[in-house]
Amino acid sequence: MSEKVYETIENLGVVPVVSINDADRSEGLAQALIEGGIPCVEITFRTAAAEESIRRINKAFPDMLIGAGTVLTIEQCEAAIKAGASFIVSPGLDPEIVKWCQAHDVPVIPGVCTASEVQKAVSLGLEVLKFFPAEASGGVRMVNDLCGPFPKVKFMCTGGINLLNLADYAASTKVISVGGSWMAKTDMIEKQQWKEITALCQQSLCSVQGFKFIHFGINTPCFDDACDAASKFWVFGMKPDVRSASTFMDSSIEIMHSMFKGKCGHVGFFCFDVERSLSYLSSRGFTVDSDSIKLDEKGRIKVAYLKQEIAGFAIHLVRA
């Protein structure tokens, strides 16, 4: 149960944290998040409508991953799970809540922000923790420092995160997701600003990938033609770097020495986490060409091509 929940959260990379005052808004909110590509929500027990909102979202969208947030008591754990929540998040580390969740096979992500709290959580058998309040507690630098003594721990970071700083966190291999209220603030939910919420989810989901253009690859039929093209790009001041299968011009153009992938060539993008980006791209109609996958020394995907081309260009992702 826990593994599946953590995997879903990590593949998404973004978790909206919401406080709903009126449970009548819950289906509209869930629909807006799903349309924004995020079938996951953490509903905080900061309002009286939390339990009813979880129940209604679970009924209307049974495939949505619902977490209960700001859980402070065992009674809230019971109510949240009964209503359909699949995981429990608390702002701090309460061993009683952790033990209750473990005894009931419920994934629990307690909040921590110091080495002592991480150590306590690890001694309770946990490896996924909430780093909260993230920005006020030292940001991603603190996350990476905490992972020195606790290399197995990974964090869901929340507190002061927004569209401007989320990529700093998402770039860390120690961060399974970023979360926060910026995608669906309480007043936006009250005003039923579903389109705006959907757009913020889409933007956040794209930003969390850390996509960055690397190079264009141009196909040529043979080495001689590649050299001819290289000499012409040289005129524009680009320096050639001849390798076995291609010649790079200033690293931004790769002239292939053969008709390689893509009708016209290929485009390369860096991303923070290829597995996560493939999951994101699959929800946008792209599929991975599994024969193209290359792994790094840790067994993670280093390079992968997509099956679909864009305007005659194959697309590949590279772990940054």
Query: Which of 135, 254 has the CB closer to ligand 3PG?
Result: 135
Does 130 qualify as catalytic in the annotation?
Answer: yes
Determine the 3-state secondary structure of 170 from DSSP: helix
In the complex with ligand 3PG, which residue's Cβ is closer, 202 or 292?
202
- Nearest distance in Å: CB 188, ligand 3PG: 13
- Tokens standing for 228? 């001819």
d(CA 242, CA 54): 58
The active-site residue out of 42, 51, 52, 254 is: 42
Residue facing ligand 3PG at closest CB distance:
180
Nearer to ligand 3PG, 111 or 217 (CB): 111
At residue 123, φ and ψ (nearest 5 deg) are -65, -20
Identity of the residue, 110 or 265, whose beta carbon is nearer to ligand 3PG in the bound complex: 110
10, 51, 52, 130: the active-site residue:
130
Minimum Å distance from CB 132 to ligand 3PG? 6
CA 115 to chain centre: 25
Instruction: Write down the least CB distance from residue 128 to ligand 3PG, Å.
Output: 14
> Do β-strands 265-271 and 301-310 pair in parallel, antiparallel, or remain unpaired?
unpaired
CA distance 148 to 104: 31
Kindly list the residues in this chain that would bind ligand 3PG in the complex (CB under 6 A).
17, 44, 69-70, 132, 158-161, 179-182
Q: How far is the CB of 64 from ligand 3PG (least distance, A)?
A: 18
* CB 13 within 8 Å of CB 40: no
| Comparison of 45 and 211: residue with beta carbon closer to ligand 3PG | 45
Does residue 52 carry a catalytic annotation? no
Q: Which of 43/317 has CB closer to ligand 3PG?
A: 43
Q: Is the peptide bond before 133 cis (omega within 30 degrees of 0)?
A: yes
Question: CA-to-CA distance for 257 and 220, rounded, in angstroms?
Answer: 6
Shortest CB 69 distance to ligand 3PG, Å: 5
Joined together, the tokens standing for residue 25 give: 């808004």
Nearest-approach distance from CB 319 to ligand 3PG, in angstroms: 28
- In this structure, how many other beta carbons lie within 10 angstroms of the beta carbon of residue 37? 17
Residue entry with tokens 């940001």 = 139
The distance between the two most distant Cα atoms of the chain, rounded to a whole number of Å, is 74
Region at 129 (left for phi over 0; alpha for psi -120 to 50; beta for the rest): beta
d(CA 115, CA 121): 10
Q: Which residues are catalytic?
A: 42, 130
